[in-house]
Amino acid sequence: MTETGRDRTTYDTELIMRTVAITGTRETGHRSPDDYAVLFEAYLAPFADGHFYIGAAKGIDSLTLAWLAENTEARLTVVAPGSVAQQPAEARQAIDRATDRIGDVIELGAAVLDTAAYHARNRWMVDHAAMTIGFPHGIKPSTGTWQTLNYTAEQGKPRLIVPV
């Protein structure tokens, strides 16, 4: 029991731990690695004492995983819509390089990696996080990044949008 007399739920514990879902574009070649490092220092480092849920895809997912693993002590959870083995080589390599820093790998078991599977993965991450940090490229409302950011808002959770 807490001081208020009610049992602490898993959700309460997650809020205390500052959990953050990461979402972002897969198209990252238009910026240099140094540019991303500057962005991550500014926008991820303030939450580095928390817990990050990161998708198992290429692009922002792989870049943030590598940066967080190398530059913070944050708890890292990688979430794949199917299995890690189904992910692109770039993503699998990022996961392999950060294995010693990844606390959990969640494989949601989708047989086919289609739009619906990725949206389900993104909703799962938002549902388990207290907030979302998104790194969209452009303003295309149909992208997974924007759908994830909008879902975050629909859940009444804060979102930080960092255009790339």
42 part of a folded domain? yes
Number of domains in the chain: 1
Higher pLDDT, 126 or 9: 126
26 part of a folded domain? yes
Percent of the residues in the chain that have a pLDDT greater than 70, as a whole number: 90
Output the average pLDDT for the chain.
89
Domain that holds residue 53: 22-161
How large is the average pLDDT for residues 21-47? 95
Task: Judge whether 96 and 126 are in contact, CB under 8 Å.
Answer: no
Spatial CB neighbours of 26, under 8 Å, sequence gap ≥ 6: 57, 58, 59, 60, 61
Q: How many angstroms separate the CA atoms of 120 and 116, rounded?
A: 6
Is residue 136 very low, low, confident or very high in pLDDT (cuts 50, 70, 90)?
Answer: very high
Q: Determine the pLDDT at residue 10.
A: 55
Q: Determine the pLDDT at residue 29.
A: 87
Spatial CB neighbours of 33, under 8 Å, sequence gap ≥ 6: 63
Residue 127's CATH number: 3.40.50.450
114 part of a folded domain? yes
Q: Determine the pLDDT at residue 114.
A: 92
* pTM of this structure: 0.87
7 part of a folded domain? no
Higher pLDDT, 139 or 33: 33
113 part of a folded domain? yes
Q: Determine the pLDDT at residue 138.
A: 82
How large is the average pLDDT for residues 98-110? 95
How large is the average pLDDT for residues 29-34? 92
Q: How many angstroms separate the CA atoms of 158 and 84, rounded?
A: 28
